[in-house]
A and B are shown apart, each in its own frame.
Chain A
């Protein structure tokens, strides 16, 4: 047998080995450059800080204890607040968009493509676009002044309004796409059937459309909530130094404050919130599937 034949026969007789051989390079990369760093960061969060940067040997819970300090607690709650508000707003604005596109017939694919386009472009550029609009000398202020609505520009940046608007602007496509996916299967004939059976438009919506869209709503909410929790750029560009979220806190600890252990702990607090959200999502999804049976 040639080398090639031997090689093929070897793997043919060992299908598990073949699978693992294919997986190994990618898995190795992910383990080494994702899992290991996360574990190291977890370890760091329990170590005392070295004033010259990095960590000292030892074990301490102080980094996590600091989160009970009202200053830091406020940051965590603020972040949660932003994430929840952003998700709610995205749902409010995104659902009608997804619904309208699902009903758009032939224009569907084009419209959904348009919605997804900004999602793929640089988040940084998009935040800058928001900044450009909302600056003191920016477009919104200039237009309002020109229209005579206000006398002098009012400060939009560095406010919760700016950060929230930036977050919604940034993550709205994440909400639209999953809801649209669920509604894509919306057959107009379902609505017509409901109408024939005497349902008014509002009733059709609640009884037919909404249940169909539910999986998309839940998925979309998750896809917005998670990055919102972890967001950093938005508050950095649009919030100035005034709006500090957990993301900014972390960045600070790894930047000028040079407190890596505390930054690691803050990251883990963030991760816990994220995992909490994912767990809730999975429970809700499984409960939904169980109800359907």
Chain B
């Protein structure tokens, strides 16, 4: 009996499921360059839907807003999340369980609940709604995420490295910056890129805390989808898909760099 190859019906079935998972997105990309407004037929290659995007002020503004919020919230969430990961990985303290539970709250809370509860808070505190409130919200859901990624990287790290630095004369601060951070860096970058992606793509939470004036790119896309305008939606969707894919590939590459556990050493 051959345990190597899978039965043909299984491979076929899995291929179909794979198709289901990816074909709709590929179709979008395809039709974003199709010179046809309503028909599903292929009418020739064109970039006009992308050109239309660039002409639209709401798209450009939305993109700018998304990038601003993304950058700001990523930086803050990365710093806070990394600090938390350091505390959890390297210290014994009472209340550890409570902190770990706190980190999991964002994960089990549905997005819509997060959105409206923040809206309640902001309104009650008379906190102005806009890019600021959006950034605050994005940081909140990204902290846990960065903390978990950096924490797992820390766990895989050799603790002796910091001790080696200390016996060589580096105090805690020097050891942290000269030894710990270079080791953590790929994990931090990876966590940061994923946090940026989550922020860039978020619709539900953002829509509740944005108020009337501010609009990020996903909010603009949502309006376009609801109003069912022309194929420019395909174009902007493709842009978003592409941007995210690139970010994910970079994050994945960064995270894989330099395994921290001792590699199998070459022969003597």
Cα-based distance from A19 to B20 in the complex (angstroms): 47
Q: Which of A7-28 contact B (CB under 8 A)?
A: 8, 12, 15-16, 18-20, 22-23, 25-27
Q: Are B110 and A100 in contact (CB under 8 A)?
A: no
**B13: A residues at CB distance < 8 A:** 96
Known: A35-B102, A130-B24, A233-B203. A29 touches B80 (CB 8 A): yes
Alpha-carbon separation in the docked complex, A173 to B117 (Å): 28
A residues in contact with B119, CB < 8 Å: 254
For B40, give its contact among A113, A138, A201 (CB under 8 Å): A138
B97 at the interface (CB under 8 A from A): no
Closest chain A residue, CB of each to CB of B76: A29
Say which residue of B112, B123, B234, B245 sits within 8 Å of A54 (CB atoms). B123
Q: A122 touching B112 by the CB < 8 A rule?
A: no
Report the Cα distance A188→B139, complex, angstroms: 43
Report the contact-size class of chain B (Cβ under 8 Å from the partner): 35 or more
Q: Are A120 and B22 in contact (CB under 8 A)?
A: no
Contact with B along A105-142 (1 / 0, CB 8 A): 00000000111111011111110111111000111001
B28 within 8 A of A: yes
User: A206: CB under 8 A from chain B?
Assistant: no
Assembled-state Cα–Cα distance A26/B84 (Å) = 6
A137–B1 CB distance below 8 A: no
Residue in A118, A122, A237 whose CB lies within 8 Å of B21: A118
Nearest-Cβ distance from residue B155 to partner chain A, whole angstroms: 16
Q: Does A247 contact B (CB under 8 A)?
A: yes
Closest to B239 in A: A125
A19 to B68, CA, bound (A): 32
- In the complex, what distance in Å separates the CA atom of A173 from the CA atom of B25? 14
**Chain A residue at smallest Cβ distance from B28:** A129
Asked whether, in the complex, the Cβ of B120 is within 8 Å of the Cβ of A260, the reply is: yes
In the complex, the answer to whether B105 meets A25 with C-beta atoms within 8 Å is: no
- Of chain A, the residue at the smallest CB distance from B111 is A230
List residues of B (61-112) whose CB comes within 8 Å of A's CBs. Answer: 79-81, 83-84, 86-88, 91-94, 99, 102-103, 105-106, 108-112
Q: Do A254 and B116 form a contact, CB below 8 Å, given A27-B84, A227-B110, A274-B108?
A: yes
- On whether A270 and B40 interact (CB within 8 A), knowing A22-B84, A130-B24, A233-B204, the answer reads no
B83 touches A23 (CB 8 A): yes
Inter-subunit contact B225/A128 (CB<8 Å): yes
Indicate if the CB atoms of B99 and A27 lie closer than 8 Å.
yes
Question: Contact between B108 and A275 (Cβ–Cβ < 8 Å)?
Answer: yes
| Contact between chains at A226 and B91 (CB < 8 Å) | no
**B102 & A27 in contact (Cβ 8 Å cutoff):** yes
In the docked arrangement, what's the CA distance between A169 and B86, Å? 37
A128 nearest in chain B by CB position: B225
The verdict on B257 contacting chain A, using a C-beta distance below 8 Å, is no
Q: Which of A37-45, A57-65, A283-291 binds B? A: A37-45
**A172 beta carbon closer than 8 Å to chain B:** yes
B114 at the interface (CB under 8 A from A): yes
Cβ B244 vs Cβ A122 within 8 A:
yes
The residue in B81, B120, B248 that gathers the most chain A C-beta atoms within 10 A of its C-beta is: B120
How many Å lie between the Cα of A102 and that of B156 in the bound state? 24
Most buried by A among B18, B93, B113, B124: B113
Q: Which chain A residues border B139 with CB–CB below 8 Å? A: 29, 33
- Please report the C-alpha to C-alpha distance between residue A188 and residue B4 in the assembled complex, in whole angstroms: 8
Whether the Cβ atoms of A128 and B233 lie closer than 8 Å is: yes
A117 and B121 contacting across the interface, CB-CB below 8 Å: no
Q: Please, which residues of chain B bring their CB within 8 A of the CB of A123? A: 201, 203
Question: Once the chains bind, are A172 and B21 in contact (CB under 8 Å)?
Answer: yes
Q: Chain B residues with Cβ under 8 A from A25's Cβ?
A: 79-80, 83
List chain B residues, Cβ under 8 A from A124: 201, 203, 218, 221-222, 225
| A192, B4: Cα distance in complex, Å | 9
Inter-subunit contact A267/B117 (CB<8 Å): yes
- Residue interface mask B129-147, A partner, CB < 8 A = 1: 0000000110110011001
3 closest cross-chain pairs (CB), A and B? A230-B110, A37-B117, A22-B87
13 A-B pairs besides A34-B114, A124-B222, A250-B116 with CB distance below 8 A are A18-B91, A19-B91, A33-B121, A33-B137, A41-B113, A121-B244, A129-B28, A132-B234, A264-B116, A267-B112, A270-B110, A271-B110, A274-B109
22 A-B pairs with C-beta separation under 8 A? A26-B84, A29-B140, A33-B121, A41-B117, A94-B17, A118-B21, A118-B22, A128-B233, A129-B24, A129-B28, A137-B40, A142-B40, A169-B20, A169-B21, A229-B110, A230-B111, A237-B226, A263-B116, A264-B120, A267-B116, A270-B113, A271-B110
Q: Contact residues of B with A, CB < 8 Å? A: 1, 3-4, 6, 10-11, 13-14, 17-18, 20-22, 24-25, 27-28, 31, 38-41, 79-81, 83-84, 86-88, 91-94, 99, 102-103, 105-106, 108-114, 116-121, 123-124, 136-137, 139-140, 143-144, 147, 171-173, 194, 197, 200-201, 203-204, 208, 218, 221-222, 225-226, 233-234, 237, 240-241, 244-245, 248, 252
